[in-house]
Amino acid sequence: MNYEKKCFALHRRFNDDGYATRTTIEQMRVEKSIEHRYDVYFENDSDDDESVLKIILFRAEHIEYLKNGLFKPLDHHFYVLDTSRSWMVYWISLSLNLLGESDYLKKSLQIISFLRNCESPHGGYGGGPNQEPHLAATYAAVNAIVTIGNDIAFNSLNRVAIEKFLRRMQQPNGSFTLHESGEVDIRGAYCALSVAKLLHIPTYPESDLFHGTADWILSCQTYEGGFGAAPGHEAHGGYTFCGVAALALLDQLDRCDFDALMHWTANRQLSFEGGFSGRTNKLVDGCYSFWNGAVLPILQSWRVGKNQMVSLDRWLFDQEALQEYVLICCQNHPGGGLVDKPGKNRDFYHTCYTLSGLSIAQNSFNSRIVIGVSDNLVEPIHPVFNIPCQSLEALREYLKRKDNQEELK
């Protein structure tokens, strides 16, 4: 990094004004570790163009890490993840697709077989075989199946049973429990809506499914502008994504405090680190590359749809800075896999959502912005569903054929 650029970056560091707290001390420690990562990349380089070419996506290493994890039994140390196995299939499948391994996934009939074993006879999917159905696990399983992207995978989806499950989870006020007698939060509403919209299950106002849901979600927006898990909860990046995506799917996004939402989300991108944090005064975390990174494209897409003036060439965040954070600070392990921040352990969750955020940062309406070498480009995703655009198009064509066949009977 040249002298002028480094000086500019240092001016963006956190300033505690001489009043140290546990929070400020941790923030400064993280900034120091990130500064070290940038120094490793750009040490002794005076030419920015040459420095940028050192930024490389370790594609082969990530693919090997993901493929090893897809069919490997859980280590006994990770038995607590047994209820998240459908999620891990989704995280790994999406990551492989983003890295260009879609053909590999289409040949993996074991994935479909495993997810069928997670399906409840009463509709919906559990986190693993013979487990109770759960809305989050159902979202993960459906997204994994759609990500595979062929008719064999699509044929495994039982839309009738899934609709019945969604109706059982719906509450009178429009919210959704995540499982029978389970907790209610904004994740349930989003997961249910995403699944219903993907599978062409009729929703409000065509049916009473999701009646009142928009009103309940709007009650989760906070004074800051983001959305909390439930009414009265703190604004959070993951819950904000769920609220924004759900309102977009319901065509009700204009009912929220749009300006406050954009302001809160844009301010989650940290000026020194380049990545996003999940809440006000919290540390950077690679997974929010998607959770927050997807919100602004959804808002911009909404305004484009309403014929409002908005940029078609760039998202409303620093796309280059986010890519630098993902590629320089989140690729710590020589064996592949991405992390939350320097010094953290790799896992499939952060690998998935940092790659999803990387995809969003690279692909806008009318342009591609790719830092480093051209091979850093990953596949585009749909920001509302977090599935590959190509897979989504294949599903829509499949359902169109399926619905036409049903009409001819």
116 catalytically annotated: no
- Of 62, 197, 350, 382, catalytic: 350
Residue 245 CA to residue 285 CA, distance in Å, equals: 21
350 catalytically annotated: yes
- Of 185, 197, 268, 347, catalytic: 347
Residue given tokens 């940029």 in the structure block: 311
User: Which run of H or E residues covers position 121?
Assistant: none
- Of 134, 179, 197, 279, catalytic: 279
254 catalytically annotated: no
β-partners of residue 170 are 176
- Of 65, 190, 288, 353, catalytic: 288
288 catalytically annotated: yes
Radius of gyration of the chain (CA): 21
- Of 220, 285, 352, 398, catalytic: 285
- Of 282, 314, 344, 402, catalytic: 282
**Identity of residue 166:** L
Q: Count of alpha carbons within 13 Å of 86, Cβ hemisphere only? A: 31
Residue 134 CA to residue 325 CA, distance in Å, equals: 34
**Identity of residue 240:** T
285 catalytically annotated: yes
76 catalytically annotated: no
Interacting residues of 208 by C-beta distance below 8 A, sequence separation 6+: none
- Of 220, 242, 256, 287, catalytic: 287
340 catalytically annotated: yes
CB 323 within 8 A of CB 302: no
Q: Count of alpha carbons within 13 Å of 179, Cβ hemisphere only? A: 13
DSSP per residue over 173-191, as a string? Answer: TS-BBSSTT--B-HHHHHH
Calculate the alpha carbon distances from 253 to 62, 218, 290, 386 in Å.
36, 9, 19, 18
Residue 219 CA to residue 208 CA, distance in Å, equals: 20
257 catalytically annotated: no
CB 143 within 8 A of CB 386: yes
Q: Is 388 helix (H, G, I), strand (E, B) or coil?
A: strand
- Of 197, 236, 341, 382, catalytic: 236
185 catalytically annotated: no
Is the link from the previous residue into 205 a cis peptide, with omega within 30 of 0?
Answer: yes
Residue 239 CA to residue 244 CA, distance in Å, equals: 9
Q: What residues act catalytically?
A: 236, 279, 282, 285, 287-288, 340, 347, 350
